[in-house]
Amino acid sequence: MKILLVLILIICVGWNHAFPASTAILNNTNSYSIKGGTFNGKDSSLIYSIGTCDINGDGIKDIIYNNGDGYVVLFGDVSRFGNSRPINDSFADGINGFKIKIPQAERFPVCGDVNGDGIDDLIVTNSQSFFGTLFLIYGSKSPFKATIDSFDGINGFQIIGEPYSSLGIGKVICDVNGDGVKDIVFSTIMGFYGGGHSNSTNRNFVIYGLKNGSKYTTDNGEYKVSDIVEGKGFIMTLIYGLTLTCGDINNDGYDDLYLQKPRYQIVFGNATFPLDYAPKFDGKEALNITGITWASIDNRSGTSSFGDFNGDGLIDMAVTNGNYSSYEVYIIFGKKNENWPSTFDAKSRNSSNVIAFTKGSGSKDYNCDSLMMGDINADGFDDLQCFSPDFVWVVYGSDFPFESEVDLSASTSPLFDECRGFILEQVDGKVLANADFNNDKILDLMVIKSNILYGIYGEKLLMSASLGLINTTLEYSSNGSYILLDGNYSPVSEKCPLTSIKVQVINAQPSDSIDIASSNDITVKKLSPSTIIIYNNNRDSKFLQKIAKIQYSTQRKDSIASINFKFPGYLDETILVNATAPHKFPCICPANNICIDSLCVPPGTTDINAGCAKYPCTYGLDCNSHDNKCEFRSGCMTCADLKCGSNEECELRISFNPKCKLFPFCVLN
């Protein structure tokens, strides 16, 4: 009945979203699907997956998912599987993918190049016998065995935890020391997988990545944490994470670690670390995050992610608050060259630092049990993707400033505007992922329904725009002021309007200035005298028509200004302003004639366009019969041949040279 209602809604309302409104209408044209195998006589619960790894080094992203008795890797792209729907693990035959057979496979796989050969490596873990074991499989362009069930140091290695240590409960691959190679990071939490407790304490381990395709030294395929010595990694005691993610939130070139449980903390990356590292929570080495709570002890379902949500080139962090009584999702904006506090309050409601997405007072619960950040609509901004029981909601990233609190139930919610976000119904798998399994360079949204993993192809936002410039070159204005667009353009845009436009003098000089007055329709942010961003306050489809009065002012007199109008991926147009002052020269004509456009004509003449074929040129110029224009004689110097000082200008004066009757001189302004 629920499927029928969704279909009726789609028929009545029409196709309101670039993305499908429900998993019920997915097919081969808009998605692919993957089904887990059979384990112990039952269909495997296909839950945890990633799709942003290239394990076989062919430049195409692969998909890795948990499959009951281990993991399955399927090589991209989807075309290799023909019209198979759903794809299943029988394709993991060593040619189209492979299986990793380990008992009690534990949640998320993670990937990244840890040995500097340019191919992603894969880390998976298990929870067998309460120990916890981490397995690393080296990526390779060489063929893989159809099933990997042992590790010899060549194909990979394992790290075995101490009894009850739950080693690998949190894991991530990132470059915390900024040497260009990603590092292996993992945590232990004593007794989490069950069993007793040892005398060991909870810790976080970092093993530095290797370079040039080297492989880690192992003992018959086993790497021991006792091999971590200073210079090869570091250990943090009593600082650990049930969930580990990473990204460069302070944008200093070093990946930072986000550790969740029991506290919510960020440990900043750095070039060097002592073996036993105890960071100070002073905002420089580490910080605490308050305002995040979880009702459940187990929050390993993807509760944080990194990306550039507002398109400023800085890495931001998304994090979800798992308290169902006050569910909120936060985008914490990345900073650069700024000090962080020792404690960051996610609930601060300071829109320059953090946005809070709240479920509001509506009847629909916009919770967020797990989240992802990734650009699934190809507009250059990473999008916030959240799983709420029974559906997924997505808010598109944007450079348009959000309020400090966004009510997802309100009529102005971005979820109700196909240009700003969407809702995907009938999803029951708790974990989200992104991929590019069709290799179209747009991330897919991976969701789960009834143990089927669906990869919904990313769709480019319904946005296009053009200024429709009439003249791309503007001629010299003696007052140095130019209205760039008014009367000079015929703008057009598609369904989704631009949220902003950046106007910049590319070859700016100190005297250059770009200006337009703010209004109810537009807000202007001045990045520099010669660069502004104009925001579309009301997301008006007529936004481009509202920016006609952009003014360029300059004192330059001898060059061409290049002024660019840009919204990344959709609009990139340029106007040239010829700010070269015309050269002054004496206009000398016979008696009873006047000088107009270098021609000597009788007073009252109206057919100037007849040119020098009809009227004589002024003194010092000759008629070019081909172009029908007056010009200097060949070989004679003009102002173009003379470079005057900044406080000078060029004038042409009478010369006594019989050939070149005019000569350029530099005179003070």
Whether the per-residue pLDDT at 122 is higher than 70: the answer is yes
Query: How far, rounded to the nearest angstrom, does the alpha carbon of residue 372 sit from its chain's CA centroid?
Result: 13
Give the model's pLDDT for residue 2.
41
**If we measure between CA atoms, which residue out of 135, 199, 139, 137 comes closest to residue 167?**
135
Whether the per-residue pLDDT at 642 is higher than 50: the answer is yes
What is the spatial distance between Cα 136 and Cα 95, in angstroms, rounded to a whole number? 20
DSSP string, 580-598: -PPPB------TT-EEETT
Q: Are residues 308 and 214 in the same domain?
A: yes
At 152, list the tokens: 């010899």
At 385, list the tokens: 């993707």
How far apart are the two ends of the chain, measured CA to CA in Å?
83
Could you give the percent of the chain with pLDDT greater than 90? 64
In a domain, residue 181? The reply is yes
Which run of H or of E encompasses 158?
strand 156-160
Q: Are residues 447 and 501 in the same domain?
A: no
pLDDT in tens, 456-474: 999 988 888 999 999 999 9
Give the model's pLDDT for residue 635.
77
Sign of CA dihedral 89, 90, 91, 93: positive
Lowest mean pLDDT among 25-29, 50-54, 145-149, 654-658: 654-658
CB 367 within 8 Å of CB 360: no
Sign of CA dihedral 160, 161, 166, 170: negative
Q: What SS3 state is found at 490?
A: coil
Number of domains in the chain: 3
**Amino acid identity for residue 89 in this structure:** D
Of 411, 433, 456, the domain-final residue: 456
Query: How far, rounded to the nearest angstrom, does the alpha carbon of residue 50 sit from its chain's CA centroid?
Result: 18
Whether the per-residue pLDDT at 7 is higher than 50: the answer is no
Give the model's pLDDT for residue 587.
78
Q: Are residues 426 and 469 in the same domain?
A: no
The rounded mean pLDDT for the chain is 88
Give the model's pLDDT for residue 298.
62
Q: Are residues 533 and 425 in the same domain?
A: no
Give the model's pLDDT for residue 9.
36
Q: Are residues 289 and 325 in the same domain?
A: yes
In a domain, residue 6? The reply is no
As a whole number, mean pLDDT of residues 228-253 equals 94
Whether the per-residue pLDDT at 489 is higher than 70: the answer is yes
In a domain, residue 275? The reply is yes
In 3-state terms the chain splits into helix, strand, coil percentages (rounded to 5) of 5, 35, 55
**Could you give the C-alpha distances from 190 to 169, 233, 458, 482, in angstroms and in order?**
10, 22, 41, 70
Sign of CA dihedral 654, 660, 665, 669: positive
Whether the per-residue pLDDT at 12 is higher than 60: the answer is no
pLDDT in tens, 507-561: 999 999 999 999 999 999 999 999 999 999 999 999 999 999 999 999 987 788 9
Starting at the earlier edge strand, list the strands of the sheet with 110-112.
Answer: 110-112, 121-126, 133-137, 156-160
Which run of H or of E encompasses 224?
none
Of 430, 456, 482, the domain-final residue: 456
What pairs with residue 522 in β-bridges?
536
What is the spatial distance between Cα 489 and Cα 469, in angstroms, rounded to a whole number? 4
Which one has a higher pLDDT value, 564 or 652? 564
Per-residue pLDDT band at 187 (split at 50, 70, 90): very high
Q: Are residues 266 and 248 in the same domain?
A: yes
What is the spatial distance between Cα 199 and Cα 202, in angstroms, rounded to a whole number? 10
Which run of H or of E encompasses 527?
strand 522-528
Query: Exposed, middle or buried, 59 (CB in 10 Å: 0-12/13-18/19+)?
Result: exposed
Q: Are residues 389 and 474 in the same domain?
A: no
In a domain, residue 84? The reply is no
**Could you give the C-alpha distances from 462 to 16, 301, 383, 426, 468, in angstroms and in order?**
11, 31, 15, 24, 19
Helix residue ranges, H only, 165-225 = none
Q: Are residues 176 and 274 in the same domain?
A: yes
What is the spatial distance between Cα 195 and Cα 192, in angstroms, rounded to a whole number? 8
Per-residue pLDDT band at 13 (split at 50, 70, 90): very low
pLDDT in tens, 380-400: 999 999 998 889 999 999 999
Q: Are residues 236 and 308 in the same domain?
A: yes
Give the model's pLDDT for residue 583.
62
Q: Are residues 212 and 261 in the same domain?
A: yes
In a domain, residue 653? The reply is yes
Query: Exposed, middle or buried, 10 (CB in 10 Å: 0-12/13-18/19+)?
Result: middle
Give the model's pLDDT for residue 366.
86
Give the model's pLDDT for residue 256.
98
Q: Are residues 556 and 632 in the same domain?
A: no
Per-residue pLDDT band at 351 (split at 50, 70, 90): confident
Cis bond leading into 77, ω under 30°?
A: yes
In a domain, residue 8? The reply is no
On whether the pTM is more than 0.75, the answer is: yes
Per-residue pLDDT band at 130 (split at 50, 70, 90): confident
pLDDT in tens, 38-72: 666 666 666 677 888 999 999 999 999 988 788 99
CATH number of the domain at 180, please: 2.130.10
Q: Are residues 126 and 193 in the same domain?
A: yes
DSSP 8-class letter at 143: P
Q: Over the Cα atoms of the chain, what is R_g?
A: 33
**If we measure between CA atoms, which residue out of 546, 561, 507, 514 comes closest to residue 533?**
514
Q: By residue range, what is the domain housing residue 503?
A: 465-578
pLDDT in tens, 266-317: 999 999 999 999 999 999 999 999 988 776 656 667 789 999 999 999 999 9
CB 33 within 8 Å of CB 98: no
As a whole number, mean pLDDT of residues 225-247 equals 93
Sign of CA dihedral 400, 403, 406, 411: negative
Give the model's pLDDT for residue 192.
81
Per-residue pLDDT band at 179 (split at 50, 70, 90): very high
What is the spatial distance between Cα 246 and Cα 177, in angstroms, rounded to a whole number? 12
Whether the per-residue pLDDT at 37 is higher than 80: the answer is no
CATH number of the domain at 560, please: 2.60.40
In a domain, residue 83? The reply is no
What is the spatial distance between Cα 219 and Cα 332, in angstroms, rounded to a whole number? 43
What is the spatial distance between Cα 205 and Cα 227, in angstroms, rounded to a whole number? 11
As a whole number, mean pLDDT of residues 335-363 equals 90
Query: Exposed, middle or buried, 239 (CB in 10 Å: 0-12/13-18/19+)?
Result: buried
Whether the per-residue pLDDT at 620 is higher than 70: the answer is yes
**Amino acid identity for residue 347 in this structure:** K
CB 171 within 8 Å of CB 123: yes
Which one has a higher pLDDT value, 4 or 58? 58
In a domain, residue 586? The reply is no
Give the model's pLDDT for residue 198.
61
CA dihedral 142, 82, 40, 136 (to 10 degrees): 30
Of 456, 486, 503, the domain-final residue: 456
pLDDT in tens, 68-89: 788 999 999 999 999 899 999 8
Per-residue pLDDT band at 14 (split at 50, 70, 90): very low
